[in-house]
Amino acid sequence: MAYWEWGDPANPHVVLCAHGLSRQGRDFDALAKTLCSELRVVCPDVVGRGRSDWLKDPAGYQIPTYAADMLVLLAHLKPTTLDWVGTSMGGLIGMALCGQADVPLPVPVRRLVLNDVGPTIQWQALQRIGTYLGQTGRFDSVQQAADAMWAISRGFGPHTPEQWLALSQHMVKPLEDGSGQVTLHYDPSIGVPFRAVTPELAAQGEAMLWHLYDGIKAQTLLIRGAQSDLLSRETAHAMTQRGPKARLVELEGIGHAPTFVARDQQDVIKSFLLTS
C-alpha cells in the first residue's frame, strides 16, 4: 500500500485522510498543505487504487480488507494522537475502525470527519455510481481524461479548470501498450463486489453500519453536500441524534462529495481538528 505524507514525520499527531471509492490519496493535496504545518498528514492509496498494488481476487475489494490494511499502516506510523478524515468510502473505513471497541488501533481515534457518508446510503446513488465504476477508459491526454471525469463528477461542486486538472492528473496513468494514451489509475475489478450488492444486501449492511456508528466514541464532524444524492438530509439529522451525535455542516451548491479544495471547506476541517 502506497501512501503520501505531509508535514514533520516525527510529529506524533497524525491525521489519516482516506479517499472515496474510485479515487486516490492525492485527492487531499490541498487540504494536506493547509494542515501539515501543525499535523502529520498521511493519505494512503487504498489497495487497487493509485500507486498501491491490485488484488488477485476482486472479492477482497471491500471495507474489511481496507480496514485491516489501515491497521497495518497505523501500526507502522505509531501516532500518539490520531484523527481521521474519510470521504465516502474512506468514511466507512473510519466507521469500521472507530465503531468497534476491540479493534487494535495504536491509540483511539480522537476526532473523526465523515465526508458526505453515513450508515444509510441512498440506493439511487449506488446505481448512479455503478453506471461508470470500472470503466477506466483510454484517453489521448490528461485533459481529455479530466473532461470525462468532470462529466460524472459535477456533484463535487464548483472548481476552476486549474483546480480540476490538479485533482485529475493523479487519477490517470500511462497505458503500457506504447500508445501514449492514459487510463484511470485504479483496478477495474473494484467494481465486481460493488455490482454484486442488491437492495437486500444493502439493507443488511445498513443495519451493521448503524451498529458501528452507535459505537463511535470519537468527536465526530459530519460534512454533507447540500445537494448530495448519497447522504440524505434525514440520515444526516439522525446522525446528529445518536451514537457520537455528530456536528453537522452542510455545504451549499455541492453534492457528493466535497473535495476540500476550497479554502472555506479546509477551514471547517482545520478548526475541528485543531481547536480545543
Give, for all 276 residues of the chain, the pLDDT tens digit. Answer: 999 999 999 999 999 999 999 999 999 999 999 999 999 999 999 999 999 999 999 999 999 999 999 999 999 999 999 999 999 999 999 999 999 999 999 999 999 999 999 999 999 999 999 999 999 999 999 999 999 999 999 999 999 999 999 999 999 999 999 999 999 999 999 999 999 999 999 999 999 999 999 999 999 999 999 999 999 999 999 999 999 999 999 999 999 999 999 999 999 999 999 998
Type of residue found at 119: P
Q: How many CB atoms lie within 10 A of CB 217?
A: 14
- The reply to whether 84 falls in a domain is yes
DSSP letter assigned to residue 55: P
Q: Are 85 and 114 in contact (CB under 8 A)?
A: no
Number of domains in the chain: 2
Please tell me the distance from the alpha carbon of residue 143 to that of residue 53, in angstroms, as a whole number.
25
Euclidean distance between the first and the last CA atom of the chain, given in angstroms as a whole number: 33
User: Same domain for 36 and 57?
Assistant: yes
pTM: 0.97
In this structure, the answer to whether residues 163 and 198 fall within a common structural domain is no
129 assigned to some structural domain: no
* Same domain? 110 vs 174: no
43: phi then psi, degrees, rounded to nearest 5 = -125, 90
Angstrom distances, CA of residue 152 to CA of 21, 76, 101, 129, 181? 14, 36, 38, 9, 20
Q: Report how far residue 222's alpha carbon sits from residue 241's, in angstroms, rounded to the nearest whole number.
A: 12
Domain end (from 170, 185, 200):
185
Residue 48: strand, helix, or coil: coil
Whether 160 and 270 share a structural domain: no
Does 52 fall in a domain? yes
Same domain, 152 and 251: no
Asked if residue 265 is part of any domain, the answer here is: yes
Same domain for 232 and 113:
yes
Range of the domain at 141: 135-185
Q: Do 245 and 152 fall within a single domain?
A: no
Shared domain check, 194 and 181? no
